Structure 1
């Protein structure tokens, strides 16, 4: 996704995470929380942007800011940024994380696959089947050949930077409702786009499990709330004009009713 897409969340004080294995803080100790990732963690399209976050577009309505407020975080850092890839998180966000972080959340991977370009080539009007197919084929190749190693390298670096943190890695929702009449792509394109999201989420889950991290799966919560759902049920934005960088991102409801409950469940009891 663009230096916007799959696409981050609120800047404040440096700090970080809750119950970890050995040496974890007691359950009643306020967490020191760090949120890393791309536009989905930053809160692109959720409004209430922090002016200091610039083009990262971190929102007070994003799940990290909501989680920090709900849990009375003693310290809260959101370094998430629209358009961030795994390498951006590793080189530009992770160095800001303190070693005494007790809870760390991470949403990243979509931009490594070029999901913003895939949305442009498959879901906007007047794009051809050939162009959409080629773009999704390339995203699938990156997912299978490049992303496993990138995620593993990043997760290793996360554990080294925050050794006592409980780490929660999130997946992505299905962006699109299928089986409906809709002007956003064809139904076949929407089906394949969602299938690629499933493959991405299962890879993220697998790599998270291998590193001892929790996985927050948001697909069930978002079921029936993708673009083309109609009836005011959409928790994902469609094509947003003139702010195209807000297209295909969670709305405030998507952040508070989709992402937040999944992340809260994965971080464990307050």
Structure 2
């Protein structure tokens, strides 16, 4: 393999909440699990000659991407994905005044991430920045989580995403709109009896990203007669957040899908900045 894909950011890019090794967003983008998702056989980055290095870490803040992950990006890199901002906002869940300050801080830090990243990887490297999803589907409520509703939470998520989209545009990065793709698949959505294996395709810039991987269930959906594990993961994480809120800032971002938020990516379709 003569090309390199680097995944930066938080738990949206790792395997921990996606059902095991090789099932996270970055892993599936790099190497498809053909037995699980035959429609994507020979359409992954491995087929295109890419190796992968996942530097993303559970609980990472935007500052962690700058301080702990970027220093490890070395050598020629052909593709980078960046998932950031979610943990920053979740650390001040329910506090509108603090949320405004966090969005401002993420704006400056995201600029720093992309300035330094572009300097490291060069002009020809493709960079993809994701937006942050909303598990409440715009309601501000996540039933069963143990947390009070945050009426303006969806507003702050949209505001944060506008900041990320703007930063991406300034540095020639493509935006993968996970927020739009995830909408309608939150913890209150879905029919438990319906798997809806082939969701509509969402286009983001010059890349194509599907709402879910073919074969993956809706948030409350079933596949092979088994209830999707996504809901208990999100609710378990939120309950932990509620229990520790008085002593610890949030440490994790629940994964928006039990498969990949990068599905449908075509590595050669992205424009060179």
The two structures have a TM-score, normalised by structure 2, of 0.66
| 2:175 alignment partner, SS class | strand
**Larger helix share, 1 or 2:** 1
Alignment gaps of 5+ in structure 2: 32-43, 193-217, 220-229, 241-250
Alpha-carbon offset, residue 43 of structure 1:
3.8
The alpha-carbon distance between structure 1 residues 77 and 68, as it changes in their structure 2 partners (threshold 3 A), is same
Q: Is contact 1:178–1:190 with CA below 8 Å preserved after alignment? A: no
Aligned to 1:249: 255
Aligned to 1:169: 129
Q: Is contact 1:104–1:167 with CA below 8 Å preserved after alignment? A: yes
The counterpart of 1:159, out of the listed 78, 100, 118, is 118
Comparing 203-212 with 243-252, greater Cα deviation is found at 243-252
Q: Deviations over 1:44-90 (max 9, x none)?
A: 421214xxxxxxxxxx2111111111121432100100111122112
Q: Does residue 35 of the first structure (1) align with residue 35 of the second (2)?
A: no
Q: Deviations over 1:136-170 (max 9, x none)?
A: 331222213x2221111111111111113111111
Q: Is contact 1:182–1:228 with CA below 8 Å preserved after alignment? A: yes
Aligned to 1:97: 73
The alpha-carbon distance between structure 1 residues 260 and 30, as it changes in their structure 2 partners (threshold 3 A), is farther
Alpha-carbon offset, residue 40 of structure 1:
1.1
The counterpart of 2:262, out of the listed 246, 254, 260, is 260
Alpha-carbon offset, residue 93 of structure 1:
1.2
Q: How far apart, in 1, do the equivalents of 2:189 and 2:155 lie?
A: 17
Aligned to 1:224: 184
The counterpart of 1:46, out of the listed 18, 21, 43, is 18
The counterpart of 2:27, out of the listed 47, 61, 65, is 65
Q: Does residue 203 of the first structure (1) align with residue 203 of the second (2)?
A: no
Q: Does residue 150 of the first structure (1) align with residue 97 of the second (2)?
A: no
Q: How far apart, in 1, do the equivalents of 2:6 and 2:138 lie?
A: 35
Q: Deviations over 1:119-140 (max 9, x none)?
A: xxxxxxxxxxxxx3xx233122
Q: Is contact 1:32–1:75 with CA below 8 Å preserved after alignment? A: yes
Aligned to 2:52: 76
**Larger strand share, 1 or 2:** 2
Q: Is contact 1:240–1:246 with CA below 8 Å preserved after alignment? A: no
Q: How far apart, in 2, do the equivalents of 1:183 and 1:242 lie?
A: 10
Calculate the aligned-residue CA RMSD, in Å: 3.3
Q: Deviations over 1:169-216 (max 9, x none)?
A: 111112113569973479x93552222111111110001101111111
| 2:80 alignment partner, SS class | strand
| 2:71 alignment partner, SS class | helix
Q: Is contact 2:139–2:154 with CA below 8 Å preserved after alignment? A: no
The alpha-carbon distance between structure 1 residues 250 and 181, as it changes in their structure 2 partners (threshold 3 A), is closer
Instruction: Report the count of equivalent residues.
Output: 210
Q: How far apart, in 2, do the equivalents of 1:180 and 1:153 lie?
A: 30
